[in-house]
Amino acid sequence: MNDTTLLGPWVRRFLLEHLIGERNLSRQTQLSYRDTLRLLLPFVADQCHRPLDQLTVEQISATHVHGFLHQVEEVRQCTTTTRNQRLAAIRALAGFVAVHSPEHIAWCGEIRRIPFKKATQALVPYLEKPEMDALLNAPDRSTKQGRRDYALLLFLYNSGARASEAAQLTIADIDLAQAAVRLLGKGSKSRPCPLWPITIQTLTPLVAQRAPTQRVFLNRCGQPVTRFGIHTLVERCAHRATAVVPSLARKRVSPHTLRHTTAVYLLRGGVDINTIRAWLGHVSIDTTQVYAELDLEMKAKALATCEVAGETKPTAHWSSDASLMAFLQSL
């Protein structure tokens, strides 16, 4: 059995050479594709009754991929969007193999013919002002850990940063004098973001007398906080804030919810969509446009501007308009 038949070497080349060396994709993309393969390969090995390291390329058949995607949705209870992300990773691997191994072109075609599912557009969750205030007040700021938690929540709300961007933030990225921060987003794209005076005031003692290369936000053990740690923090504070604002219990609050909240409030403040796109680090303005569509408060104000005042005179029924009916009959 030669190397082009075994799947293992292709997986290693795909993750290490292709995604990073050739495509220069982000570390997060590499990890996402890796996680897909960590789920797919044991599934296929079990279906084929073979050791995982002896799987061949063509044993990742269209039938097995369909079965895997069914498991993702039905057993793991993942959304259609997650299912499509898993499929995108598998199709990318198939395309990479076919480019370097022409004998696998037919196999690649079968994999790439598996369609993506149309996903319903879910409403983007965001917090109203009382809910956001309750979340910020949830940490106990009389403790060191509580002050760190408050600073992190405030930073997410101020900057609209992703959890991964906040986790990677170094002290050198914050310009206290200019009240600004430099965020490293998707595709290793850097973008500046202004900071409120209260955010600067909160971050200053957190970064004082520390090396510029150190991460800004640390966990209880003094190690850099992870994006999963940030998710846990936000969920914990949201649960605590529910006692003050019960409406939070009906919402799934995550770091991305705070990002959406930032965008909605920028929009309500009169900031144009293109500026919000740059603020959040979106590549396409179509991604940002969703915030203009979901804000009920702005829609209500727009509706009020065109509201008809007073009673309107009823119009005659179309059948009583003899001239119109004559015109239509003549056509």
Output the pTM of the full model: 0.67
Chain-centroid distance, C-alpha 216: 22
Calpha distance 123→127 (Å, rounded): 13
Q: Which of 33, 150, 157, 291 is catalytic?
A: 291
Longest dimension (CA), the chain: 88
Give yes or no: 291 in active site.
Answer: yes
CA neighbor of 301 nearest in space, from 266, 263, 270, 279: 270
Q: Which of 83, 259, 260, 277 is catalytic?
A: 259
Strand, coil or helix: 124: coil
Helices (H), 142-282: 144-159, 163-168, 197-207, 227-241, 255-268, 273-280
Q: Which of 162, 215, 260, 277 is catalytic?
A: 162
Other beta carbons less than 10 A from residue 269's beta carbon: 8
Q: Which of 13, 34, 186, 240 is catalytic?
A: 186
Q: Which of 18, 215, 256, 277 is catalytic?
A: 256
Give yes or no: 23 in active site.
Answer: no
Helix (H) or strand (E) holding 121: none
23-46 pLDDT tens trace: 888 787 888 999 999 999 999 999
79-136 pLDDT tens trace: 898 999 999 999 999 999 999 999 999 999 999 999 999 877 666 788 999 999 999 9
Give yes or no: 282 in active site.
Answer: yes
Q: For the chain, which domains are there?
A: 7-112 (1.10.150), 129-305 (1.10.443.10)
Give yes or no: 162 in active site.
Answer: yes
Calpha distance 272→267 (Å, rounded): 7
